[in-house]
Amino acid sequence: MSMVEKRKSEHIDICAEKHVSSDYNFWNDVFLVHNALPELDKGKISLSSKFLGVKLGAPIIISAMTGGFSGAKKINENLAAAAAEFQIGLGVGSQRAALAHPELAGTYSIVKEYDVPLRIANIGAPQILEWGKKAEEMANKAIEMIGANCLAIHLNFLQEAIQPEGETKAKGALLAISDLAKSIGIPVVVKETGAGISGAVAKNLCKTKIAGIDVAGIGGTSFSAVEHYRLDESRKKLGKTFWNWGIPAPASVLEVRKSCPKLPIIASGGITNGLDCAKALAIGADTAGIARAFLRPALLGTEEAKRAVELTLEEMRIAMFLVGAKDVKAMKGAEYRITGASRDFISTL
């Protein structure tokens, strides 16, 4: 097993078995205002929506998680089966492993066997910097590998800084993203991986040709926490120190929306149910992304993965019923309140 395969496998084991969440889930600070007289029938609520020009059965994306080691194939297959059944989006994990070791491509390309409406390829900003002039060629290989209709470029400098083997050369990343977004023929989304995107960063990203931002703020999986478990004793403390580093996910959505009023936004980071997805829409996102909450079901099997998605959609429908929103457009206009730590954070903007 190569070092990358070992790392990918460890990430799945750690995320499935250990406590890796930030101490605070900021979605609990967001309240949708209850409508005691919703004046609509729950059975008539529609979750269908469009994202990046693609029709979705619900405004939900299974966020990038895996690929690149043998056990990942079944996880991606189960997630793809669930995404196809409910016509939601699906991201695969960083494809760097298969770009370096083509024999691992099948652990990602399995998702092509399923009718997933939005298939999102995934490469890292550190890699496009490393690839230099070959970045476009490598990105196209990643896209082809899974038949993607969207490319995510992930920003994971928190993780890279904590990892002993991390790549911490970040200079030139914005320009590299800008060049790739210009030359790649499909929509490019820039995504964080659990530390959030600020209004200032979004403002710079908005000037490029990217098609959307996935905020992936703090509140859920913390990659500092994940790496904490992989560090040897001499560096373990680093993972603890930065465990809660980042911009709260809901605050990140509000900031990005303010900086980029028209840009498609994926809200993610700590979203674990359909109620959180509804909250995400109310505060300004177009779609919600869920990673770790779907990992355990996907490890258990296809039916478990499908059931987890089905339940999420039902939770979303209930939330929409209780605010009186008949469809996604109405949900985006629903009244909300922000309390607690998120409110404090936002008030300092």
Summarize as ranges the residues that interact with ligand FMN (CB under 6 A): 11-12, 15, 63-66, 93-94, 122, 152, 154, 191, 193-194, 216, 220-221, 268-271, 290-293, 295
> Nearest approach, Cβ of 176 to ligand FMN (angstroms)?
16
Give the nearest distance from C-beta 115 to ligand FMN in angstroms.
22
Q: Which is nearer to ligand FMN, 12 or 88 (CB)?
A: 12
Whichever of 211 and 325 has its CB closer to ligand FMN, that residue is 211
CB 251 within 8 A of CB 346: yes
Reduced 3-state DSSP string for 219-266: CCECHHHHHHHHCCCCCHHHHHHCCCCCCEHHHHHHHHHHHCCCCCEE
Least Å from the CB of residue 226 to ligand FMN: 7
Nearer to ligand FMN, 152 or 173 (CB): 152
Tell me how far, at minimum, the Cβ of 65 lies from ligand FMN, in Å: 4
Residue, CB closest to ligand FMN: 220
CB-CB contact of 196 with 248 (8 Å): yes
- Contacts of 184 by beta carbon, 8 Å cutoff, 6+ apart: 136, 139, 140, 143, 151
Gap between the Cα atoms of 20 and 22, Å rounded: 7
Residue 56 vs 190, nearer CB to ligand FMN: 190
Shortest Å distance, C-beta 35 to ligand FMN: 28
Pick the closer one to ligand FMN by CB: 45 or 275.
275
Strand duo 60-62 + 54-56: pairing: unpaired
Q: Between residues 47 and 267, which has the closer beta carbon with respect to ligand FMN? A: 267
Is the Cβ–Cβ distance between 64 and 118 less than 8 Å? no
Selection from 123, 240, 139 nearest residue 186 by Cα: 139
- CB of 111 or CB of 216, closer to ligand FMN: 216
**Helix, strand, or coil (residue 273):** coil
Query: Residue 49 corresponds to which tokens in the numbers above?
Result: 């929506």
- CB of 92 within 8 A of CB of 122? yes
In angstroms, give the least distance from the CB of 68 to ligand FMN.
8
Q: Which residues pair with 21 in a beta bridge?
A: 221
Least Cβ distance, residue 19 to ligand FMN (angstroms) = 13
- Shortest distance (Å) from residue 318 CB to ligand FMN: 20
Closest to ligand FMN by CB, 120 vs 325, is: 120
Query: Do 228 and 236 meet the contact criterion of CB atoms below 8 Å apart?
Result: yes
Burial of 269 (0-12, 13-18, 19+ CB in 10 A): buried
Q: What is the CA radius of gyration of the chain?
A: 19
Q: Compute φ and ψ for 248, nearest 5 degrees.
A: -50, 135
